[in-house]
Homo-oligomer: A and B are copies of this chain.
Amino acid sequence: MKLMNAKGVRDFPPEEKIIRQKVVDTLRETFEEFGFNPLETPEIERFETLSSKYAGGDEILKEIFKLKDQGGRKLGLRYDLTIPLARFIGMNPNLKMPFKRYEIGRVYRDGPIKLGRYREFWQCDVDTVGSKSMLADAEILAIADRGFKKLGLKTVIKINNRKILDGILLSTGVKENKWIDAILSIDKLEKQGKNEVKKELEQKKIASTSKIFKLIQKKENNKKTLDNLKSFISNDIGKEGIAEMEELLKLLKSFKVSVDFDPSLARGLAYYTGPVYEVFLEKSEIKSSIAAGGRYDEMVGKFVGKEDAYPATGISFGLEVITDALSSKEKKKSVVDVYVIPIKTTSESIKIAQKLRNSGIKIDMDISGRGISKNLNYANALDIPYVIFVGEKELKQKKVKLRDMKTGKEQLLSINNLVKKLKK
C-alpha cells in the first residue's frame, strides 16, 4: 500500500499547526471580546439542507461531497458555515435575538485543485442575526480591524453597500431584473480588469457601461466618493444605501476603525442586501481578500420559511490565507520552552520538570537516555530555546544548569530563579 493523502487535503505538521492555532486563538479571543458566543454545528448535513434553493447555489451544489449512511439517507459535507447557522436558527425559534455567534471549523468543496485551493479548509465566521442596525455591521468591521492588528498584519478594509450599487444601476437605466447579473460581473473588476468586465456586461445586454464605471470610481477620500454619488443618485434605494454608509462611517469613527469606501466593491454572492466588506493586506504578495462578508437580511428568513424575520450580517476569515501571510516570519517548530536533559538523574529530573510545569512552562524531557550531544541536536532541530542539564553535581547545590540555545551561554540557577527567568 502506498501511503498518501486523499487528493486535495493536507496534513499540518507541528510547525504549520502551531501558527494555525495562533490565528484561531487570536480570532476566537477577539470574537469573544465583542460578545460573540461559540456555536458548533456538524460537518455532515442532510443533502436536502445543503441543496436548498436559498443556500449556496448551483456552482457550489456541484462541489458538495455526497455520502449516504447505512440507512441510505442522502447526506453531504458542509461547504460553508452559513447554511448550518441558518438551519440552527430555524430549529431553535426561541433563541434570544440578536443572536451573536462565531464558528470556526472545516468545510469541504469537491472542486478543482489549484495553488491555494484545497478540498478541505477552515473558515472562521462571526455573524449577528436578528438586527438591522448598522451598529451590528460596525461591530463586525471592528472585529476584523482588531483581529488583524492583534496578529500584526497591516490591512485595508474596503466597504460598499449593495443598495448603492442597485442605486447606481437604477440611475443608469439598468432594469431591476438585471441588477444581480451586473453586480456579479462588477465583482470581477479587480481580477479581470475594466475591459473584460465591460465585455461581460455588454454580453449580458447591459448598455450604459461607461456611466456605470464613472459612478463606481473611487474619489480621493470617502467623503468625496459619497458626495460624488449623492450628486448623481436620486432614487430611493440608492439614497438608502448612501444613508446606511454615512451612518456606518460615523459609527466606525467611534470604534476608531478606518475603512476605504469603494463603490466598485461587489462581492460574489447573490444574497447580500446591504453593506459588503473585504479585507486586503497592505503591500503584500497576497492580492486576494483575507476576510470578507456583508449584510444578508433575507437569506436566513427565506431558508427558514419566515421572510424578513432574520436580518443578518457577518464576516468570514480565511484561515489558510491568513496563515500564509504570517508563516514566513513566525514559523515555530515546537511549543516547548525548555528541554530537560537528565544526567543519570531521572527521578529528580521528573520532579524538576513537574515543578516547572506547575508554573505553566512547557517542558519536554529526554525519555530515551541519549547522550548530551544527541540531546542538544534534538533540541536544536526543534528550535527549543532553552535546555537544562540536571546532573548530580548540580543537584547537590540544589541547582540546574541552564543553556540558552541561541547564544550558547550557560548559567547555574536554583529552580526558583529559573522560573523567574523563564517567566520574564
Q: Chain A interface (Cβ within 8 Å of chain B)?
A: 1, 3-14, 16-18, 20-21, 32-35, 37-46, 48-49, 52, 65-67, 69-71, 73, 75, 77, 84, 87-88, 90-92, 96, 98, 100-101, 106, 108, 110, 119-120, 128, 131, 133, 135-136, 138-139, 142, 146, 250-251, 254-256, 304-305, 334-336, 339, 346-348, 350-351, 354, 357, 360-365, 367-369, 378, 381-382
Contact indicator B52/A40 (Cβ below 8 Å): no
Cα distance A346–B382 in the bound complex, in angstroms: 50
Cβ-neighbour of A350 out of B11, B21, B49, B254 (below 8 A): B254
- Given A6-B44, A251-B350, A368-B131, verify A382-B96 contact (CB < 8 Å): yes
Which residues of B sit under 8 angstroms from A52, Cβ to Cβ?
1
Nearest-CB residue, chain B, relative to A99: B14
CB distance from A272 to the nearest CB of B (A): 19
Candidates B33, B38, B348; contact of A361 at CB < 8 Å: B33
> What distance in Å separates the Cβ of A258 from its nearest Cβ neighbour in chain B?
14
- Pick the contact of A13 from B10, B11, B92, B381 — CB < 8 Å? B92
Q: Identify the closest chain B residue to A366 (Cβ).
A: B135
User: Closest Cβ of chain B: how far from A126's Cβ, in Å?
Assistant: 13
Query: Assuming the A-B contacts A42-B10, A120-B44, A368-B133, are A255 and B354 also in contact, with contact meaning beta carbons closer than 8 angstroms in the complex?
Result: yes
Cross-interface CB contact of A367 among B20, B48, B73, B133, cutoff 8 Å: B133
Residue of B nearest to A340 (CB): B35
Rounded to whole Å, the gap between the CB of A333 and the closest CB of chain B is: 8
Q: Which 6 A-B pairs have the closest CB atoms?
A: A35-B364, A14-B37, A9-B42, A12-B40, A254-B350, A135-B367
Known: A40-B20, A73-B7, A88-B11. A363 touches B251 (CB 8 A): no
